[in-house]
Structure 1
Amino acid sequence: MAESTSADVQVFAPLQNDLILRAARGEKTERVPVWVMRQAGRYLPEYKAAKGDKAFFATCRDPELVCELTIQPVKRFEVDAAIIFSDILIIPLAVGLTVANDPGQGPVFADPILLPSDVDRLNPKPDMEKELGYVYEAITLTRKTLQGKVPLFGFAGAPWTLVKFMIENVSAGPNPNRARRFLVEYPVAARKLLEILTDAVITHLVLQIKAGAQIVQVFDSYGGELGPKLFNEMELPCLRRISHEVKKRLVEEKLEPVPMIVFAKDAHFAVEELANSGYDVVGLDWTMKPTHARRLAGSNVTLQGNMDPVMMFASKEEIKKATKEMVQKFGTQRYIANLGHGVMKDTDPDHLGVYIDAIHQYSEEINSTA
């Protein structure tokens, strides 16, 4: 019987590889599933060929091209999931900021948030289906095109990380502390901004799931910058509300539940809190010791991570050795292998392939002797 994301929305081909979904739910897996953050992107020659000179945000708005870019790494590697090609910065656009440049080409936003009055000009209740419909169309198309080969990820940026970009225009150059200063200098406006973004993230994730996403991740790429006090006071409540409200909305809309992952880079101090925040999986960056993270997280969540992305520049033998050590430390159950952050743009795809294959090889070997 074909899977469906709801009784009356979409019907898709049966899933052939559910390793990641089982691992996320804490079910037994015969090998460790693996995918990598930014696996669809500029390190692949086929990505460059398909995208050409098309601007980044324009690429994100092209469902057919997004579908092609999303599936490219699935064709090249034995990854256990696809992740939709998109960007976390589309949510600030949906709530009212305007584009100045593509990411990496100077200021992303023409009208960053600098004062409390800037928050008031945002749309607190945008029509997300109208603003970001191209994402949902791309997800449905990609899910159908995958024909059940692997699950499809949706994702969103976490509220604080979005605030960081909206205030500091990160790729325009360093504006250290401006966003954190906003949180403490204008706490009322900051909480209003976080609430607007949290609502948008919840809706965006639900609509992605409705369109066909089978697992979702919340990226808090600057989470660790807050430190324990601000993270616990300002961001953690947002992350908790996202996990709880998404799951509640899925029940209300009679949609199948999907696993949820939270990845808060550099937030070592919050592993225990994140493990109890309603997510099925906690992602780890490369600076965390797997055994220490296991102790902090406990046995009720799956861990994801955490090979240092620069290891993809090591020799193939060194990659294999480091991968084997990582799998041994994490164990083969309640574990999803990944990098500790996104794959770097100059990475040799063949080296990444060695890493992916080694995850499967060594985890299968460990399971066979268990």
Structure 2
Amino acid sequence: MTAKPFNDTFLKACRKEATDRVPVWYMRQAGRYQPEYRAIRAKHSFFEMNYIPEVCAEVTRLPVEQLGVDAAILFADIMTPLKPMGVDVNIESGIGPVIANPIQTLADVQRLHDLDPETHVPYILESVKILRQQLSVPLIGFAGAPFTLASYMIEGGPSKHYHKTKAFMYTEPQTWQALMDKLADMTITYLKAQIRAGAQAVQVFDSWVGALNAEDYRTYITPVMQRIFSALRETDVPMIYFGVGAGHLLKEWNRLPVDVLGLDWRTTITEARELGVTKALQGNLDPTLLLAPWEKLESKAHEILEEGTRQPGFIFNLGHGVFPDAKVETLQRLTHLIHSYKREQ
């Protein structure tokens, strides 16, 4: 069987190069909306799927084959590297990450181990190596950003308002900085290991950093993100930064040494450009529209395509992850729509 030619459309868009069509992939494109995923999940816990590279590779590859998207994202969780660091975390159905030993003191931070990817998460690196042999599209590696990881580690699980996290940041600045440094070191080490194993782009998920105002972001977060992206810059792979409800932080993000900024649906691409954002952009369909009538979904997707293609460097995606009650057929149809789109001159 002849191997498919490598599709580098996504990588070209990350670098703001010309492409013959708009590339697309979907956050959480491997998940419970897929019958095949549910069948695998019935046999393995979430972390078990990570621990078995052949299973991890299968789950990662499935949406590429099923949907025809232009990139794969490694199937893992932002919590994956925290377990070997000494964080007692489990993914609980219907809740998310739940941590039994939340961070409360400087001593708690100091007890965290440094991450050695080859020793602590060899299964992740093996999955990446397998996928590089199997995929004809780029593989995206990823990690959670320090603020978002810290929010789980301090709150003990998901939060609506991040009161404990922000109070900790304000009242324990020395301990906060120690935690940021520890998590920055882990993020750099983890992503560099994924890149060495074969990841061709990386995305840093700062899902909940939109809880901060711009001044606090600049004070408490910008230095750590500057350090992470500066360290990764030497790898020469495209870097994507994404958060939810963070449109007010886009000017800060645009100053970071990152290639692509991911938008959620609250900020339009036009609004981002009017703010002066010069990076490539990724986004930003509201995933709820996957449950809407096709005519409504088609209209909004077309609007996003029109806005996104006004400048080079656009990747179609959702503004957050695919819902479990989305339909495979809807995503297939949407992917075809995006690939068929031709901008009117």
Q: TM over 0.5: same fold? A: yes
Q: Report SS of the residue matched to 2:213.
A: helix
**Helix, strand or coil at the partner of 1:292:** helix
Selected match of 1:323 from 280, 296, 301: 301
Is the CA contact (8 Å cut-off) linking 1:309 and 1:343 kept in structure 2? yes
Aligned mates of 1:244, 1:175 — CA distance in 2: 30
For the structure 1 residues 206 and 185, does the alpha-carbon distance in structure 2 shift closer, same or farther, using more than 3 Å as the test?
same
Specify whether residues 339 and 175 from structure 1 end up closer, same or farther in structure 2 by C-alpha distance, changes over 3 A only: closer
Deviations 1:202-235 (A, max 9, x none): 0111100100100110000001011212211111
Match of 2:257 in 1: 278
2:267 pairs with 260, 283, 288, which one?
288
In structure 1, the gaps of 5 or more residues are 1-12, 251-256
2:132–2:139 CA contact under 8 A, matched in 1: yes
C-alpha distance after superposition, 1:267-309 (max 9, x if no partner): 212212212200110100110021110122443x200000001
What's the counterpart of residue 140 of structure 1? 129
Q: CA deviation at 1:329?
A: 1.6
Q: Is the 8 A contact 1:57 1:102 kept in 2?
A: no
Corresponding position: 1:232 with 2:218: yes
Deviation at 1:51, TM superposition (A): 2.5
- Flag the 1:196–1:310 CA change in 2: closer, same or farther, 3 A: same
Match status 1:131 vs 2:113? no
Distance in 1, matches of 2:97 and 2:132, equals 33
Closer/same/farther in 2, CA of residues 31 and 50 from structure 1, 3 Å limit: same
CA distance in 2, matches of 1:282, 1:15: 28
TM-score relative to the length of structure 1: 0.88
Q: Which runs of 5+ in 2 are unaligned?
A: none
Aligned to 1:267: 246
Matched, 1:161 2:161: no
Q: Which amino acid aligns with 1:178?
A: K
Q: Map 1:97-108 to 2 at 5 A.
A: 97-102=87-92, 104=94, 108=98
Given that 1:92 and 1:166 are in contact with CA atoms closer than 8 Å, whether structure 2 keeps it comes out as: no
Tell me which residue corresponds to 2:185.
199
1:177 has 2:177 as partner: no
Aligned-partner residue type, residue 140 of structure 2? F
**Distance in structure 1 (CA, Å) of the matches to 2:252 and 2:56:** 35
Shift in CA distance, 37/184, structure 1 to aligned 2, threshold 3 Å: same
Letter in 2 for 1:344: F
Deviation, structure 1 residue 94:
3.0
Partner of residue 174 from structure 2, selected from 182, 188, 191: 188
Cα distance in structure 2, aligned partners of 1:287 and 1:361: 26
User: 1:163/1:154 Cα in 2 relative to 1: closer, same or farther (>3 Å)?
Assistant: same
Task: Give, in whole Å, the separation in 2 of the partners of 1:14 and 1:75.
Answer: 12
Q: Percent sequence identity over matched residues?
A: 40
Work out which of the residue numbers 16, 20, 31 in structure 2 matches 1:41.
31
1:21 CA displacement: 0.4
SS at match of 2:231: helix
SS for the counterpart of 1:338 is strand
Query: How far apart are 1:15 and its partner, in Å?
Result: 5.8
Letter in 2 for 1:334: G
**2:229 paired residue number:** 243
Query: How many residues are matched?
Result: 342
TM-score by length of 2: 0.94
Bigger shift: residues 100-109 or 28-37? 100-109
Q: 1:218 aligns with which of 180, 198, 204?
A: 204
Q: Which residue of 2 aligns with 1:59?
A: 49
TM-aligned CA distance change 1:50 to 1:44, over 3 Å: same
CA distance in 2, matches of 1:175, 1:292: 26
Are residues 101 and 316 of structure 1, via their aligned partners in 2, closer, same or farther at CA, if it must alter by over 3 Å? closer
Structure 2 CA distance for aligned equivalents of residues 106 and 290 of structure 1:
30
